[in-house]
């Protein structure tokens, strides 16, 4: 079953609309390749409101826990989503391109049929780092096996030409 929440964005702001709920992670199709498993859900709260300059926008909060796949070791990586953002609603493409120049504003094009689930998925994807992975000291790719440690210690203690010297001694007659 696919969840779909569609709003008329400008009408939603005019009416000070509010929506909240929980969405299973399995509903976020674009996130599937990043997830270790599809269990769990994200809570959301979206409210239509005007900013300090009386421009329409959507205030969005998203929270929840996900299990991502570490891109280094492919093991499970716990990730907490806790994001709040205000998205300015641009009425035209021209207005949207003007807001693109301002790094302090996030703007989207106002739509008569804005899919809130897609918007939430966009924000979660933007919240992730480019390469999702464990810190170096926690990733299994950086944990040497016990035998590997022993070889490293032996190599540090031996002189690089010790094996060559022993061969030289055995071949003298």
Q: Using the structure block, give the residue that is written with the tokens 């703007």.
A: 107
Tell me the pLDDT band of 147, cut-offs 50, 70 and 90.
low
Does residue 38 fall inside a structural domain?
yes
Between CA 88 and CA 94, with CA 89 as vertex, the angle to 5 degrees is 105
Does residue 148 fall inside a structural domain?
no
Contacts of residue 132, defined as CB under 8 A and 6 or more positions apart, other chains included, come to: 34, 68, 69, 70, 71, 77, 79
By C-alpha distance, which of 164, 70, 81, 80 is closest to 121? Answer: 81
Span 80-108, pLDDT tens digits = 999 999 999 999 888 888 877 777 788 99
Span 2-57, pLDDT tens digits = 668 899 999 999 999 999 999 999 999 998 888 888 888 999 999 999 999 999 99
Per the structure, the count of domains in the chain is: 1
Between CA 19 and CA 30, with CA 24 as vertex, the angle to 5 degrees is 100
Does residue 55 fall inside a structural domain?
yes
Does residue 161 fall inside a structural domain?
no
Does residue 98 fall inside a structural domain?
yes
Domain that holds residue 59: 6-143
Does residue 158 fall inside a structural domain?
no
CA-CA-CA-CA torsion sign (50, 54, 57, 62): negative
Does residue 155 surpass a pLDDT of 60?
Answer: no
Q: Phi, psi (5° rounding) for residue 107?
A: -130, 145
């Amino acid at each position: 079953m696919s969840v779909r929440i569609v709003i008329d964005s400008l009408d939603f702001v005019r009416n000070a609309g509010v929506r909240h709920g929980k969405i299973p992670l399995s509903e976020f199709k674009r996130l599937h390749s990043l997830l270790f498993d599809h269990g769990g859900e994200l809570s959301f709260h979206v409210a239509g409101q005007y900013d300090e300059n009386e421009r329409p926008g959507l205030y969005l909060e998203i929270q929840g826990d996900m299990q991502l796949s570490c891109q280094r070791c492919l093991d499970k990586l716990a990730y907490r989503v806790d994001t709040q953002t205000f998205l300015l609603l641009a009425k035209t493409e021209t207005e949207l391109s003007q807001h693109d120049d301002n790094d302090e504003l996030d703007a989207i094009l106002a739509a008569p049929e804005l899919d809130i689930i897609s918007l939430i998925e966009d924000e979660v994807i933007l919240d992730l780092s480019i390469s999702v992975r464990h810190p170096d000291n926690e990733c299994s790719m950086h944990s040497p096996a016990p035998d590997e440690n022993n070889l490293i210690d032996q190599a540090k203690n031996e002189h690089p030409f010790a094996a060559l010297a022993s061969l030289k001694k055995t071949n003298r007659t």
